């Protein structure tokens, strides 16, 4: 263990603390990615469990638009009443099949007297080329039964919009824009209308169940946290090996040069032109050798191989040839 006493030096303690800090950062990033992976899994489970579930009906369905439970996101809700087409709003900058257009919000007064917000679907921009909306399909008139999937209201977007348009489905903003007392817990994405209209906006499709790369990223960050200490341990082990080689090399040179001295320590020329100054200088060169030169001179680790090399193969062929002769 004495060979590793350098680990108690200030430099190596600083390196160890840096490894701890880097490892802690990796663990934090791994936990963050794992939380995102868990959130994505929870989202997908909600879609799987609720998208094709039996529809909520009656007062229970209407109440969800005001007292929304997040566990009911994507759950169909069946409501009966009438559309209020005069208060239609268009939501700007909505993508559908990678095309930007609008979503059509129409308030809906239920039989219970409450007013909810229904998103009837997507429409494209017009052919005018100015980004304006194309013609908005009218909703069914009279009493209509609508099945819509529940969604929480969106956040507020601080952008100005033309009259009749909103930047997001921010339900308090929808209430202000229409002047109606709409339920502000959730809105519904229309899945079916009875009676069905002749023309309707593009309907919504089930979202992709994409789990993303977050779980993989989390495992990678956890691996990096461990590798920090693996690298620290490898560096310490490599230093011990290098120090051992340095000692052995210095001893080898000293042993080689000791022939220039007798038992009393007197310099004895060997007839090779080496003076005592040359011997002393060579010894000092070993002690003062820069680290990068020592790295060059240190023996390289030989990789073991079990493959037959060309020379061995040739020797085997020659031996077989001589054996036949």
The full DSSP string for 42-108 is HHHHHHHHHTTSPPB-HHHHHHHTTS--GGGTT-EEEEEEEE-GGG-EEEEEEEETTEEEEEEEEEE
Q: Answer yes or no: is 306 within a domain.
A: no
End-of-domain residue from the set 148, 167, 194: 194
Same domain, 79 and 184: yes
Share the mean pLDDT of the chain. 87
Expressed as residue numbers, the domain containing 262 is: 232-300
Residue 122: the pLDDT is 96
Residue 301: the pLDDT is 56
Is the pLDDT reported for residue 271 higher than 90?
no
Same domain, 73 and 100: yes
Q: Answer yes or no: is 214 within a domain.
A: no
The answer to whether 268 touches 276, Cβ cutoff 8 Å, is no
Same domain, 28 and 104: no
Residue 320: the pLDDT is 61
Q: Answer yes or no: is 208 within a domain.
A: no
Same domain, 270 and 188: no
Is the pLDDT reported for residue 236 higher than 90?
yes
End-of-domain residue from the set 139, 167, 194: 194
Same domain, 84 and 186: yes
Same domain, 6 and 90: no
| Long-range Cβ contact pairs of 259-266 (< 8 A, separation 24 or more) | none
Same domain, 63 and 187: yes
54: Cβ–Cβ under 8 A, 6 or more apart, which residues? 76
Residue 137: the pLDDT is 94
Going by pLDDT thresholds of 50, 70 and 90, the confidence category of residue 299 is low
Q: Answer yes or no: is 274 within a domain.
A: yes
Q: Answer yes or no: is 213 within a domain.
A: no
Same domain, 105 and 157: yes
Element (H, E) at 109: strand 99-110
Share of the chain above pLDDT 70, in %: 87
Same domain, 69 and 32: no
Same domain, 267 and 169: no
Residue 179: the pLDDT is 94
Distance, in Å, from the CA atom of 225 to the CA atom of 274, rounded to the nearest integer, reads 55
Q: Answer yes or no: is 17 within a domain.
A: yes
Same domain, 42 and 117: no
Residue 248: the pLDDT is 83
Q: Answer yes or no: is 310 within a domain.
A: no
Same domain, 14 and 66: no
Is the pLDDT reported for residue 127 higher than 90?
no
In the chain, the number of structural domains is: 3
Going by pLDDT thresholds of 50, 70 and 90, the confidence category of residue 33 is very high
Q: Which of 11-20, 160-169, 316-325 is predicted with the least confidence, judged by mean pLDDT?
A: 316-325
End-of-domain residue from the set 170, 194, 218: 194
Share of the chain above pLDDT 90, in %: 63
Going by pLDDT thresholds of 50, 70 and 90, the confidence category of residue 292 is very low
Going by pLDDT thresholds of 50, 70 and 90, the confidence category of residue 17 is very high
Locus of tokens 């919504």: 204
pTM: 0.68
**pLDDT top residue among 237 and 322:** 237
Q: Answer yes or no: is 203 within a domain.
A: no
């Amino acid at each position: 263990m004495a060979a590793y006493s350098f680990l108690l030096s200030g430099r190596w303690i600083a390196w160890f603390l840096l490894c701890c800090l880097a490892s802690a950062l990796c663990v934090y990033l791994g936990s963050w990615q794992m939380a995102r992976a868990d959130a994505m899994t929870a989202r997908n489970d909600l879609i799987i469990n609720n998208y094709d579930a039996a529809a909520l009906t009656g007062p229970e369905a209407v109440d969800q638009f005001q007292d929304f439970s997040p566990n009911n996101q994507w759950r169909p809700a069946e409501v009966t009443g009438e559309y209020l087409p005069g208060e239609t709003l268009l939501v700007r900058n909505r993508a559908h099949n990678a095309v930007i257009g609008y979503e059509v919000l129409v308030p809906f007064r239920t039989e219970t007297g409450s007013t909810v917000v229904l998103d009837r679907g997507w429409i494209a921009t017009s052919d005018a080329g100015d980004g304006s909306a194309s013609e908005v399909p009218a909703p069914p008139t009279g009493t209509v039964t609508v099945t819509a999937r529940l969604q929480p209201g969106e956040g507020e977007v601080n952008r100005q919009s033309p009259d009749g348009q909103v930047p997001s489905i921010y339900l308090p903003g929808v209430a202000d824009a229409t002047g109606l007392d709409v339920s502000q817990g959730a809105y519904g994405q229309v899945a079916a209308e009875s009676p069905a209209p002749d023309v309707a906006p593009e309907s919504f499709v089930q979202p992709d169940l994409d789990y993303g790369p977050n779980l993989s990223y989390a495992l990678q960050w956890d691996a990096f946290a461990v590798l920090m200490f693996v690298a620290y341990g490898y560096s310490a082990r490599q230093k011990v090996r290098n120090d051992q080689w340095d000692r052995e090399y210095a001893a080898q040179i000293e042993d080689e040069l000791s022939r220039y001295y007798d038992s009393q320590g007197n310099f004895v020329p060997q007839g090779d032109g080496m003076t005592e100054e040359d011997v002393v200088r060579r010894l000092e060169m070993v002690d003062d050798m820069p680290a990068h030169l020592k790295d060059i001179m240190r023996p390289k680790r030989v990789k073991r191989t079990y493959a037959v090399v060309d020379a061995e193969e040739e020797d085997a062929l020659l031996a077989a040839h001589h054996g036949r002769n």
